[in-house]
Amino acid sequence: MTNTGRRFFSGNTLEQAVMQAASHYQIDPDEVAYRKIEKRHGFLKTRRGVVIDVDPDNPRRAIEPEVVAPAPVELEEPDPPEVTEPDEELFVLTAQDLGEEPTEVAGIATPAEPTTDPEEGAAAAPAEPLPEATGEMAEAARESVETLLEVAGMELKADIFQGDGQLEIELSGPGQQELVADRGSLLLAIQHLLPRTIRGLTGRSVPCRVDSGNFHKMQEESLERLAYKVAEEVKQEEKPRSLDPMNPAERRIIHLALADDGEVVTESHGRGFFKRVSIRPARQRPRGFDSYNR
Contacts of 136 (CB under 8 A, 6+ apart): 107, 202
Q: If pLDDT is split at 50, 70 and 90, which confidence band does 39 have?
A: low
Residue 95 has pLDDT above 90, yes or no: no
Using one digit for the tens of pLDDT, what is the confidence trace for 102-113?
A: 333 333 343 444
Question: How much is the pLDDT for 287?
Answer: 52
Given a cut of 50, is residue 92 above it in pLDDT? Answer: no
CATH architecture of the domain covering 217-292: 2-Layer Sandwich (3.30)
Whether the pLDDT of residue 142 is over 90: the answer is yes
Q: What is the pLDDT of residue 32?
A: 83
Give whichever of 43-47, 63-67, 200-204, 270-274 has the largest mean pLDDT: 200-204
Domain ranges in the chain? 7-54, 217-292
pLDDT tens for 218-246 read: 999 999 999 999 999 999 999 999 999 99
Mean pLDDT, range 60-65, rounded to an integer: 67
Q: What confidence score (pLDDT) does residue 230 get? A: 96
CA atoms within 13 A on the CB side of 239: 4
What mean pLDDT is predicted for residues 54-80? 60
Whole-number pLDDT of residue 108 = 37
Confidence at residue 38, expressed as pLDDT on a 0 to 100 scale = 63
Q: How far is CA 193 from the centre of its chain?
A: 7
140-143: long-range pairs with CB below 8 Å, 24+? 140/198, 140/201, 140/202, 141/167, 141/169, 141/194, 141/198, 141/206, 141/208, 143/201
pTM: 0.57
Q: What are phi and psi of 142, to 5 degrees?
A: -65, -45
Residue pair 146/158 in contact by the 8 Å Cβ criterion: yes
19: nearest Cα among 206, 201, 148, 184: 148
Separation of alpha carbons 258 and 279, rounded Å? 9
Report pLDDT for 127. 66
pLDDT of 194 over the 50 cut: yes
Least-confidence region, from 73-77, 140-144, 200-204: 73-77
